[in-house]
Structure 1
Amino acid sequence: MTTSEGGSRTGRAALLVLADGRFPAGGHAHSGGAEAAVRAGRISDATTLGEFCRGRLHTTGLVSAALAAAAAVGLDPFDLDAAADARTPSPALRTAGRRLGRQMMRAARAVWPSPELDALAAALPRGAHQPVVLGLAARCAGLGPEDAAHVVAYETVSGPATATVRLLGLDPFDAAMVLARLTSELDDIAARAATAARLARSEGTDALPAASAPLLEISAEHHAAWPVRLFAS
């Protein structure tokens, strides 16, 4: 069992449902920047995939995990959505984040019906940023900030790894090896994100991480202009 910030208790199975790659939240259509990196030659094998995933984890992953953790501890989701916008310079990535948030909202409301989710969906019909929705869904499922942060951190690296199997024909065993070798860093990022989220309860969203990944942002803009692509982002 795990205890949420609100004091309710839930089975760890709720975390597995939320983290399951088959959860219908739309992530399968996104490569997390891997498609652009493959074309540019920055990902060509398991070694370079690991380097890409590590860089993404410590920048985008930390920021997104902290936003999700903050939603899970009860920070205002509208403030968090504005904070997510401020931390996402690329219009293409803001659009992708809201599209994923909209799909996550559909799935979360079906699985864990909640007035909080309903209110956010009604106020932002085009979608809130995905980490904010995921963190709020975690809260509604009775999960805590570390849980939400772990899900987002894992998604940050599992999306590119899965996409690279399709893009390069990379051996799935090699992709799994890359993820396994990042597990201690995933734990560290989730812990840092949860700590920042708790601090933000008293100091506001400025206390949340704002790490940047300029190459990911630039690549996302290039990728969005491609006439033919396998993934949405």
Structure 2
Amino acid sequence: MWLSLDLGNSQLKWGLRQVGTWILQGRLPLTLLDQLEVEWRALPPIRAAHGVSVAHPDLRVRVESACQGLLGLAPCWHSSPPSEGGLRNGYDHPAQLGPDRWMALQGAWHLQHRASLVVMAGTATTLDSLDEKGNFLGGMILPGLSLMRRSLHQGTAYLPAIEKGTYTLQARSTRDAIQSGALAATLGALELARDALGQGGDRVPVFLGGGHHAELSPHLEGPLYVYPELVLEGLALLMEGDQARI
């Protein structure tokens, strides 16, 4: 069994996988990492742990300590190389690409070898373009939906803090106007990126993951593939492919 780790800006996501099947998956807010002892206490023997991290190094050390103390192994942390798993990294400086974005791209590519827009809707929203030859062309980073809503409250005198509202282009309450603005900004950027990637007028598929996937998916036309833990999916598929080539 393999343990996959996605240490993000606000949560640790993890999954236990065997022979191409997820046995268990879980997530913890970074403020509750002490609970890993409870979460992982009953896990079966694990062969190896592989992960990506965009969190503060101190948090990574805490996860490493939990892996060593509870599971008896040290995780292998992955970065973004110039090429890997059939993909080529088009960033000017490939190592600067967030490894979570790279693994989400790996997930989309290994699931369907075709041009696609890879969207991770979490603390930040990333929109990454992949062509039909496996070239990562580049992407965009936006504030995530919660971050957009929260910034309006923090940066103004009277706008309220909200978590959700109703999406409409002619909102008649401040709550709905904030929700609609955040969603419309994200959907507009997504459609611009999708149109730029389109092949001969065809709409490229969107691979959508991240904690806010359920807010975005009802407003997206197909083809659409929703994988809430797309980063873990990409990491696992990459590792399984490497193992098959050994």
When Rg is computed on C-alpha atoms for both structures, the one with the higher figure is 2
| Structure 1 or 2: more helix by fraction | 1
Q: If the length of structure 1 is used for normalisation, what is the TM-score?
A: 0.25
- Greater RCO, CA 8 A, separation 6+: 1
Q: If the length of structure 2 is used for normalisation, what is the TM-score?
A: 0.24
